[in-house]
A = this chain, B = another copy of it.
Amino acid sequence: MQTVATTDSADTVDLGPASGLSCRECGERFALGPIFACEACFGPLEVAYDLPSGDAEELRKRIESGPENIWRYAPLLPVPADVASKPNLNPGFTKLVQADNLARELGVTGGLWVKDDSGNPTHSFKDRVVAQAIEAARAFGFTTLSCSSTGNLAGAVGAAAARAGFRSCVFIPHDLEQGKVVMAAVYGGELVGIEGNYDDVNRFCSELIGDPAGEGWGFVNVNLRPYYAEGSKTLAYEICEQLGWRLPDQIVIPIASGSQLTKIDKGLQELIKLGLVEDRPYKIFGAQAEGCSPVSVAFKAGHDVVRPQKPDTIAKSLAIGNPADGPYVLDICRRTGGAVEDVTDEEIVEAIKLLARTEGIFTETAGGTTLGVAKKLIEAGVIDPALTTVVVNTGDGLKTLDAVAPTTGMSAVIRPNLDSFREAGLV
């Protein structure tokens, strides 16, 4: 059944190649609009496209001559063709770092790369997804941007809204650490603390969407979620382009809601369909913290269903106990021959230090989780060290200093003279 429901704005919406929304469960189609759940079966909606047909070589050249940010892929994203001329933070095209020192340490011989998204404007991959949501918000005539957040997303929304000329009003649990509050509040939008936990914040936002007080508001991770989520596809595009338009053999991705992993897979599939990369097998691996490992537990048990957990881990940006895209993640990792694994908080901290010490990249706990899982799977022989491997680093260590602070400090304290230095035994 492929009936099309229309929204008021459907006639005037220009989101480039986006042709509508489709339900991932029942396939029902809907016109482009600020909706996120299927009216028929309540399944999640995702963006459907009329992707460019025609010569792959021409498309590749068009991309390569585009701007050095995600908008080079505008023909594959739910954004108008002139998106690059509008004010936004222009995230993306972050470095794909060839990690030879790390490869040596892990015994990887087939090539190891770190996709380093700490280079984005607010230093996490969130800038990619928020940038898509902004364009959807423009298309639907929203004037206020909002989200529920545990910190990082609040900053990404605040920054992007400021630059793009939107009002922003963002909701966080009231008891966040001061550092995260400052990072989120400095952009000058409204930052509202909710007396409750992240679930309470989420519930409140859902209520606000249906209320006159929330009219004209685009919640990037609620009613704009289908568009927002597409931003993660750009990680797949960039990795392949930066490898010389080639699929990696193996790619390790963190799992919070699971959206990023599913969209990276979607992006890889699109590149194959468009003829931009050669169609050959790749394996996707998902990374969780042991203290929030519902998908990993389900994968290992052979389940299709993800049983929710109460998170308890230092990897707070991955601490979603009931990940919406969990079942899709299981499906992708199984289909591609990959796996889902988890690591302890101690292994996360070790991995953060390993990456810093070998490649000079300081990642946050999510990146430590991803690298920790990569290391564990290499040691277990699940990731093949003779094949090309890409590890996705989604954020910046400056945002989670507390994770490494207890075990990171000075080698010695000395008096300002050579004798004291020699006594310290460092040379």
Contacts and interface: CB of A to CB of B under 8 A. Distances in A.
A337 interface: no
A39 B275 CA distance: 64
A360 B89 contact: yes
A356 B188 contact: yes
B410 A191 contact: yes
A84 to B, nearest CB: 12
Given A179-B401, A186-B353, A412 B119 contact: no
Nearest to A217: B427
A172 B412 CA distance: 11
A412 B195 contact: no
A162 interface: yes
A187 B362 contact: yes
Given A207-B417, A422-B213, A412 B192 contact: yes
Interface of A: 68, 87, 89-90, 95, 100-101, 119, 121-123, 155, 158-163, 165, 169, 172, 174, 178-179, 181-183, 185-188, 190-196, 200-201, 203-204, 207-208, 211, 213, 352-353, 356-362, 396-399, 401, 404-405, 408-418, 421-422, 424, 426-427
A-B residue pairs, 7 tightest by C-beta: A188-B357, A159-B360, A163-B360, A193-B413, A204-B416, A162-B360, A398-B398
20 contacts: A101-B165, A121-B361, A122-B362, A123-B123, A158-B360, A161-B360, A169-B426, A169-B427, A172-B410, A181-B408, A185-B410, A187-B362, A191-B409, A192-B413, A192-B421, A193-B413, A194-B413, A195-B415, A195-B416, A398-B399
